[in-house]
Amino acid sequence: MNVTLFGATGSLGQECLKQCLEAGHTVTVLVRSPSKLPPALRDSITVIEGDGLVADDVARALPPGTDAILFAVGVDEKTSPPDLCTDVTRHILAEMRRQQIPRLVWCGGGSNLRPEDVVTFGARFVRWYSEVFLKHRHTDKEHQLQLLDDNTDLCWIGIRPLQMKAGPRKGIYRLGYNAFSGLSSISFADCAHAMVNMLEDDTWVGRVPVIQY
């Protein structure tokens, strides 16, 4: 597949990039700082220098023949602009419509609850904590999710990790609307593993399952 990856220089994005290449996909990335890409992988991908907040840069990163998009953009509480993920996603959706790009797989957050969730005390705690201490990130992901809910005619799949941390790729985890809490976690490698698999798996189209061990 011809895949464009947004957020390739972050911890999750680097795992997505590595695993996409391992799966045999042809990868284009849009990055503001190409020097932050893993040196060993730069010669294996097409690098577009630009900003996801600029519509023309997003269009340049989605060449004709793009089969799917991976969204691994992270939010920094102190430095990211308001609605970073939402605004980049808006540009992506516009280009998906223009070019009829078949699929978007994106990473959200566990504090954004869905009607299908098993809402336990732990889930309520995660939401409260995020609203109070991670408000910037939580609000952006809420807006991003609402934007995608307003565009269900496009093919998208979301995934909601809780605590993401460094660790090995196990390939064994729970993916669904299972109960979760502030102690639920997943490695960057396994979150990427699920996202890369979703490029060719229709199981969760239009849905946003939680991923956790």
Using the 8-state DSSP alphabet, how is residue 112 labeled? S
Which pTM was predicted?
0.96
CB 181 within 8 A of CB 122: yes
> What's residue 49's pLDDT?
97
pLDDT at 203: 97
Report the C-alpha gap between 119 and 177 in whole angstroms.
9
| Class (C level, CATH) for 2-212 | alpha beta
pLDDT digits (tens, 9 = 90+) for 43-80: 999 999 999 999 999 999 999 999 999 999 999 888 99
pLDDT of 101 reads 98
Answer for the pair 30, 61: CB distance below 8 angstroms, yes or no.
yes
pLDDT in tens, the chain (213 residues): 999 999 999 999 999 999 999 999 999 999 999 999 989 898 999 999 999 999 999 999 999 999 999 999 999 888 999 999 999 999 999 999 999 999 999 999 999 999 999 999 999 999 999 999 999 899 999 999 999 999 999 999 999 999 999 999 999 999 999 999 999 999 999 999 999 999 999 999 999 999 999
Q: Describe the crossing of helices 135-149 and 121-133 by its angle, rounded to 10 degrees.
A: 110
Using alpha carbons, list the distances in angstroms from residue 187 to 10, 179, 213.
13, 18, 9
